Amino acid sequence: MTRLVLLIFIASIFSCNNSTNLKTSTDPIASRDTFPAKELLIDKGDDEGWGADIRLSITEVSKTDSSISYFANSLYETKNLGFKITVPTASPNNEKELAQVLTIQSSGNISDNLVQTLSKLYKQKADTSLHFVPSKKITFIDLNEFRKQLGAEPSNKDSTKEMKVFFETKNPDDAAELYININEAEHWIEIKEKDDSYRELVIKGLTTK
């Protein structure tokens, strides 16, 4: 009798182990890679005299079946600057579907540091009460897909994803545009100006109080 009870006990242990191994992960992230943070690169546009474009390191990439999220984080003047951006992986099917939606998200203090640094580079009035938006959906056009629809060759021969983003508001006069370029292979994200006249509105579109 004792031996029978022992065999039943052992069988139940193996049964529990097998059921645990058969469980599938509910984590929607299919893969995640991490990379080291590097110094922030700034192109002040010395040739043209007004540029303030920046390049941040990609320190983490997370992929699902429908999107890719990039966590940007770089060091500038003893502070870390960064944010998170999520872009869809599906390509538009035709010219009418070129407009897509990406999401930018705050990463806490380092994102607040980012908008404060951008304000300084954009020569805007310092406002320490401003915070990076917690999360915001923004319309964008993939410029390489746009060129493809026109039958033109892509402007870049590398793996850079070039996007033109639109900060849209109820008041058309408050709308602004910006370029965001992502090179996953080289682990960087660029925030590049469309026009210096948009500087105040870009900061407004990226922040909340």
Q: What is the pLDDT of residues 4-33, one digit of tens each?
A: 444 434 344 334 444 334 333 344 667 888
Can you read off the two tokens belonging to residue 143? 């410029």
Band (pLDDT 50/70/90 cuts) for residue 97 is: confident
For residues 159, 118, 193 and 145, what is the CA-based torsion angle, rounded to 10 degrees?
30
Count how many residues are written for the chain: 209
Q: Identify the DSSP state of 129.
A: T
Mean pLDDT of 177-186: 96
Res 102: pLDDT: 97
Centroid of chain to Cα 190? 10
Res 155: pLDDT: 63
Band (pLDDT 50/70/90 cuts) for residue 49 is: low
Residue with more model confidence, 96 or 125:
125
The dihedrals phi and psi of 90, each to the nearest 5 degrees, come to: -70, 140
